[in-house]
Amino acid sequence: MASPAKTAAPKGPATKKAAPAAKKPAAASASSNGKGANTGKGAGSNAAVDIQPRLNQQQNAPSPTQRYGTVSQRLPIGLSEPTRRESVTMLNQLLADTITLRDMYKKHHWQVVGPTFYQLHLLFDKHYEEQSVLVDAIAERIQILGGVAVAMAHDVAELSSIPRVPRDREEAPVQVSRLLDGHQRILKNCHDYASKADDSGDDGTNDLIVSQLVRTNEMQVWFVAEHVVDSPLTQAE
Ligand SMILES: [Fe+2]
């Protein structure tokens, strides 16, 4: 039953109708249901144009929806504009440093070498994942406050307070030392920023910094720092 119906439809009327359809303004009929692709080459080409994605809209783009560094009052969360602005500035600093520390963990996860390779390889990746959670929490707090979260690597590199890490592969104790320095820079800022957020009444930012950033970074410092204690392996000294 199906085969005669299929062969009957394209034959006869279809080939004769294709020509006039192509000469008429084919856009309306072809764009609505895609039949243009079956009725003739001319109509089919117009249909393809109609479904073409509009690419390269970043070129000659209109003004951004919000400029970096500005703070909107869009969400009614009961905080003043100066409080939001101060918190967003502090959080973007913590965000840039946390992204940098997170990526340093992944670098060291890949490049670590030596007798402690296995445990450090796993530990570095665990800390990378935990820092990724912090990155998302900080960035979303910035957006809630009406700010714009720093995101891209080149912007993060400009803003971060953590010294640039060489591309080279380094010994495990050097890797650990760089990580501990990064943690300490973040923790010092955390203590300062938590106090300021508390003073300004931004309880959410204070809680994020104390409950998540301080706690996580302190725990990671412990796990990493114990690897560079010069402890005897086989005979007590
Ligand atoms: Fe991996």
Residue recorded with tokens 């891209």? 152
Average pLDDT over residues 204-230: 97
Name the helix (H) or strand (E) containing 228.
none
- CA 209 to ligand 1 center in whole angstroms: 28
Tokens of 170: 């380094």
Distance CA 218, CA 130 (A): 12
Confidence of residue 45 (pLDDT cuts 50, 70, 90): low
Could you tell me the domains of the chain?
Answer: 2-50 (no CATH), 81-228 (1.20.1260.10)
What confidence score (pLDDT) does residue 46 get?
Answer: 64
Average pLDDT over residues 193-200: 98
What confidence score (pLDDT) does residue 225 get?
Answer: 97
- CA 85 to ligand 1 center in whole angstroms: 38
Confidence of residue 6 (pLDDT cuts 50, 70, 90): very low
Which three-class secondary structure state does DSSP give residue 1? coil
Confidence of residue 89 (pLDDT cuts 50, 70, 90): very high
Burial 58-86, CB ≥16 within 10 A → b, else e: eeeeeeeeeeeeebeeeeeeebeeebbbb
- CA 46 to ligand 1 center in whole angstroms: 48
- CA 154 to ligand 1 center in whole angstroms: 24
What confidence score (pLDDT) does residue 85 get?
Answer: 97
**pLDDT cut 90: percent of the chain above it:** 73
Distance CA 90, CA 195 (A): 11
Query: In the chain, what's the furthest Cα-to-Cα distance?
Result: 99
Q: What is the pLDDT of residues 156-171, one digit of tens each?
A: 999 999 999 999 999 9
Confidence of residue 233 (pLDDT cuts 50, 70, 90): confident
How far the first Cα of the chain sits from its last, in Å, is 92
Name the helix (H) or strand (E) containing 130.
helix 117-144
Distance of CA 63 to the CA centre of its chain: 22
At a CB cut-off of 8 Å and minimum separation 6, what does 135 contact? 95, 98, 99, 102
- Answer with the residue of higher pLDDT: 44 or 144: 144
- CA 117 to ligand 1 center in whole angstroms: 13
- CA 58 to ligand 1 center in whole angstroms: 34
What confidence score (pLDDT) does residue 21 get?
Answer: 41
Average pLDDT over residues 50-54: 84
Most confidently predicted of 17-21, 22-26, 69-73: 69-73
Give the predicted TM-score (pTM) of the model. 0.79
**Residue 15 predicted with pLDDT over 70:** no
Confidence of residue 48 (pLDDT cuts 50, 70, 90): low
Mean pLDDT for the chain? 85
- CA 200 to ligand 1 center in whole angstroms: 41
What confidence score (pLDDT) does residue 62 get?
Answer: 86
Q: List, in sequence order, the alpha helices (H) in the chain.
A: 2-8, 15-23, 27-33, 36-39, 41-50, 81-111, 117-144, 153-159, 172-200, 203-207, 215-225
**Residue 90 predicted with pLDDT over 60:** yes
- CA 34 to ligand 1 center in whole angstroms: 46
User: Is residue 22 within 8 Å of 43, Cβ to Cβ?
Assistant: yes
Give whole-number Cα distances, 26 to 6, 10, 203, 207, in Å. Answer: 24, 19, 61, 61
Distance CA 118, CA 32 (A): 60
- The DSSP letter of residue 146 is T
- Answer with the residue of higher pLDDT: 21 or 209: 209
Confidence of residue 237 (pLDDT cuts 50, 70, 90): confident
